[in-house]
Each structure stands twice: as C-alpha cells, then as structure tokens.
Amino acid sequence: MAYYVGKDIDVFWSTEHESHGIKEGTDFELEVDQLAGTAHEAGTIVGSLADLGEAFTKMTDITGVDVSIGAQDEDISYFGVRNVGKIEVKKDTSITITMKKKDRKFLQLFQGAVDSGSAEDTVGGHAARWGLTELTNSAFKIQGGNIDPKSCVDADDTTKTTYGYRVCLEFKGDKTGTTGDGAALVIPNCTISEVTHTTSNEAADEETITLTSQVKPIVTNARRASASTTVAFSNDSTTQTALTAV
C-alpha cells in the first residue's frame, strides 16, 4: 500500500471506450456522451479513453491518493509434496482518491439512475459503476453490472473490452515529450466500488471514491507535453485492454 498527498500526484481518468463517455442529462439521469475532443460538454462526468491526458480528464482538488496493489492466490496441494503451492488467480488493485467535494457527479455514477435510452437493458434505473458497452456497432450503452469483462467487448474489435473505467496516476511528467523520463501507473478496467462523503463544520467537505480492478496495472511514461507533441499519454496507456488480459 502507498499513500500520496494531492500535491505530489496528478490523477486522470476516463471510460474504457475510445470515443464515448458518460454525462448527466437535463433530467439528472445518466446518459452516454459522445466526446472525443478538447473540452467537456455541459454535464459530462467522465470522458472517453481517447481524451485521457487532456486537462479536462484530470481530477481536481485532490487531497490524497491511496494505492494498494496485490494479487489473489489459490493454494494448491500436490500429492507427495509437503509444501502448499500458490497459484496467482488474478490481480487485485484498489485506488482510493480523496478530494474536496464540489458536486454530485461521482455520487451520480455510483448510485444515480441511467436513462432508459442509454441503458444496455433498455430499462435503466441502475447506476453506472461498470462503464460502457458497444456489443453492436454504434449501440453505445451504459451497462448495469450484468456483463462480465470478457463479454463486454467493443463491436469494432471483439478482442478488446470496454468494461469499467481507466485511472492514470502520474507521478512525474515527461519534460520534453520525447525523452520518456516521466512516470505513471495506469490501472485499467476499474469498477467504482465505493463513494463516501465527509461533512465538517470546521473544514471543507470531502468525498472519497474507491475504484478496484483485477487487471494488471501498466507502468509507463507520463504525459508528453511539448511544442511538437500533443498533451496525451502514450499508446500503451490509451489502448483498450485485450480480452486475454482480463
């Protein structure tokens, strides 16, 4: 487990879909948001994977980030061997982000209601903790947790999954954009597992969002910022996860 204060780390996040995000509609219900550009639309909560690294995908007013990286093991006993072997079943990563409370957006994703027109089951009313699906071409929907990561595929490339959200923890930016001297940890295919609020009469109200993932994190370069390079993360940070990795 590692803890970072807000001034020492930048946190970016997006959906796992390359061109679509999630927004709050005029009736306060959650809707699919077509967003792959340079700025948020009104009501946008989380942008697309193609936008990861842009200024508007950065979480603001962060006070602390708690990162826990581990693995779930299974004990295996072999006939004739005294020692018990351990087989890694899957990764187990948890990111807890504490920030000053500014609005209801994170709480909307965690326990808000998805509009029926944007819901994978065409009924809606569920939360958006599990991200987007595109099981058929141009059918961009918010799923309700009833589709596992391997079945939540991209219609354009059925070898990739669009399950959950992607979080990028940037520890050090790339100075020139070409030397690769930055440092970032990318956690793909996260589920929003908890959102809490803390209210105080003596300090600013805070909210905490916890995301969990069972996919192996990516250690990579940070944003490439220079006159000749677009402000964005490298391809390994913004490529959808292969089904073989989940």
Q: What are 53-63's pLDDT values in tens digits?
A: 877 888 999 99
Cβ–Cβ under 8 Å, residues 191 and 36: no
pLDDT interval class at 26 (50, 70, 90): confident
Q: How far is it, in rounded angstroms, from Cα 190 to Cα 15?
A: 9
Q: What is the pLDDT of residue 63?
A: 92
> Stretch 98-118: mean pLDDT, rounded?
92
pLDDT digits (tens, 9 = 90+) for 146-177: 998 989 999 988 999 999 999 999 887 777 66
pLDDT in tens, 36-94: 555 566 788 998 988 888 778 889 999 999 999 877 777 777 777 777 777 766 778 99
Instruction: Give the residue numbers spanning the domain of 87.
Output: 2-245
73 Cβ neighbours under 8 A, 6+ residues apart: 86, 87, 88, 89
Count of structural domains within the chain:
1
Q: What is the residue-averaged pLDDT of the chain?
A: 85
Question: In degrees, to the nearest 5, what angle opens at C-alpha 223 toward C-alphas 217 and 224?
Answer: 135
pLDDT at position 145 over 80: yes
Q: What percent of the chain lies above the pLDDT cut of 90?
A: 43
Q: Could you give the angle at the alpha carbon of 212 between the alpha carbons of 52 and 153, nearest 5°?
A: 65
Look at 125 and 184; give whichever has higher pLDDT: 125
